[in-house]
Amino acid sequence: MFFTIVVGLVVFLLAVLYFQVKRNRGYIENLGFPVDQPNFVLGSSPLRLHKYVLHEVLMDKMRRFGKTYVRFEMAQPVLVTIDPDLIKAITITHFENFSDIIDFKINPKVSTLDFTGGEMWHVLRKNMSPTFTSGKLKGLLEPMSDIASDMIHFLDERIEQSPEIDVKKMFQNLTLETISQCAFGIKSNAFYDTHSDLLKHGQDAFSGFIMHNALETFIFSGLLHFPKLFHYIEFFPAAYYKLYNVTESIMKARVEQGIKKTDFIARMQELVDEVIQTPESQAAKLLTKEHIIAQGAIFFLAGFETTASTLATLCYNLAIRPEIQDRLRDEINKVMDNHDGRIDYDSVHHMRYLEACINENLRIMPPVYFHLRQCTKDTEVMPGLVIKKGVRVDFPIYTSHHNPEFFPDPETFNPDRFMPENEKNIQNLTFRPFGGGPRLCIGQRFALIEMKIALAKLLSKYRVTPSNNTKLEFEKGNTFMLSYPELLLNLEKL
């Protein structure tokens, strides 16, 4: 009996998917774009996704179909594009109809800026943005500089044992300490506490995005097709909720002890107070305390892995290209000489080649695969092109950054692309590691300043070279990030 019921449910589900695909085909064909033909079960996604590095799949599809095409997520049509004009139309011109991502029906504890849309997103964004003003960021320069100096002190001790360092882990320690002190107001002692719970939570938090077998790929595709199931099926790993609990406990301790600060946690507490004390406010009508605390957890995650990964891969690219590394070091030393040896807010803004190297690394190895939006109202985004309500639009980042039409000789690491005299050649919205439009990453400037200070301090003291064990191998099955387990390099003190 049980077996008969299960078979019946499976047959019913497959029939629903089949008729949904047939219903959508006419609309899709009228769009006039190539179609990545769906298979019967997963749509256009490969069942063996766990066997691939996702950016290789996305690059292959873009070579086959061009800059814009349609694929299926099970039976749901998804418009995929790297066309800058279409991206502008969707993410800027008609933003009000594309301000949402997938309509996840998730619980408030995971309702972060990245997973919300509509009025809730607007309220959260408006209330979190004051934390990232130029004035606030200038105030973070001193602790950021001190943390980078702690990293150098750690290296001075560590290389006495061996010059070979896992730079990914080293930079994870740096980003953990930076976020802990600058946003949460606590010290994590990340460089020396090898059993840090915070470090482990950060490393484990993205595990839910990695597919290990065909069944996980099928379930993941099913959740994207039926996003309301996220309300009933727990997708976020336990590590995320542990970071949520850490955020909540820090906020509670500050209230109980009367601690007053001006950091990210303080802004969150102000918003919680507003929700409680002024129930008639717009924030109180949309947000709960859980929604607000969730922003702390995601700020930790968003700034931890992506920044550490970018710093590590940039060191790799500099290690295998010593001429670029030497040129960058010359600039760092020259600017420091002109600023009394200081690395501060003013001096790092004069390091244009440093900024160019960071941008080129974000181009050639963007840490996140794609951004997405969902249409909330039938919209004619361009003459004759109507996107229906509910249709998702994906914007692959890696494929845009590696398109030779946008970036000639795209596989060559060439920071000069981003120097002032050449930046005019970069078409708007073809370089978008932090997204674009009003949903541009809120922590972009925080991350860039953190990276500039860390690299300036490191390269003024150390030369980075490949070791006998240096290899950069990207993990298969990750549906969200360009990830790798470790990155070993030699560091030679100057």
Residue 386: CB partners within 8 Å, gap ≥ 6? Answer: 378, 379, 380
- Element housing 385 (H / E): strand 385-387
Contact 479, 369 (CB under 8 A): yes
Render pLDDT for 18-62 as a digit per residue (tens, 0 to 9).
Answer: 555 555 556 776 788 999 887 765 666 666 677 788 889 899 999
Render pLDDT for 235-258 as a digit per residue (tens, 0 to 9).
Answer: 677 888 898 999 999 999 999 999
In one letter, which amino acid is 67?
K
Q: How far is CA 480 from the centre of its chain?
A: 8
Render pLDDT for 274-320 as a digit per residue (tens, 0 to 9).
Answer: 888 988 888 888 888 999 999 988 888 888 899 999 999 999 999 99
**Could you tell me what percent of the chain has a pLDDT over 90?**
55
Q: How far is CA 200 from the centre of its chain?
A: 19
Render pLDDT for 434-469 as a digit per residue (tens, 0 to 9).
Answer: 999 999 999 999 999 999 999 999 999 999 999 999
Q: State whether residue 102 is helix, strand or coil.
A: coil
Residue 77 bridge partners (DSSP): 72
CA dist., res. 128 & res. 265, Å (int): 10
**Could you tell me what percent of the chain has a pLDDT over 70?**
86
Q: Provide DSSP, 145-177.
A: HHHHHHHHHHHHHHTTT-SEEEHHHHHHHHHHH
- For the residues 190-203, what does the mean pLDDT come to? 84
Return the pLDDT at 222. 63
Which residue from 128, 455, 383, 167 is spatially nearest to 272, judged by alpha carbons?
128
Enter the tokens of residue 303: 């700034």
Which residue from 339, 313, 333 is spatially nearest to 473, judged by alpha carbons?
313
Binding-site annotation, residues for heme: 441
CA dist., res. 386 & res. 391, Å (int): 10
Enter the tokens of residue 27: 């609309």
CA dist., res. 113 & res. 494, Å (int): 43
User: For the stretch 463-479, what's the b/e string if a residue is b when 16 or more beta carbons lie within 10 angstroms of its beta carbon?
Assistant: bbbeeeebeeeeebbbb
Q: Provide DSSP, 308-369.
A: HHHHHHHHHHHHT-HHHHHHHHHHHHHHHHTTTT--SHHHHTT-HHHHHHHHHHHHHS-SB-
Return the pLDDT at 135. 87
Contact 85, 382 (CB under 8 A): yes
Which residue from 303, 306, 172, 296 is spatially nearest to 244, judged by alpha carbons?
296
Residue 80 bridge partners (DSSP): 69, 394
Contact 63, 410 (CB under 8 A): no
Residue 10 pLDDT greater than 60, yes or no: no
Q: State whether residue 26 is helix, strand or coil.
A: helix
Render pLDDT for 209-224 as a digit per residue (tens, 0 to 9).
Answer: 677 777 776 666 666 6
Which residue from 423, 462, 427, 481 is spatially nearest to 301, judged by alpha carbons?
481
Return the pLDDT at 248. 93
Binding-site annotation, residues: 441
Strands (DSSP E) contained in 50-124 are 68-73, 76-81
- For the residues 260-279, what does the mean pLDDT come to? 89
Domains in the chain (CATH in brackets) are 98-368+433-493 (1.10.630.10)
Instruction: Please state, rounded to an integer, the average pLDDT across all residues of the chain.
Output: 87
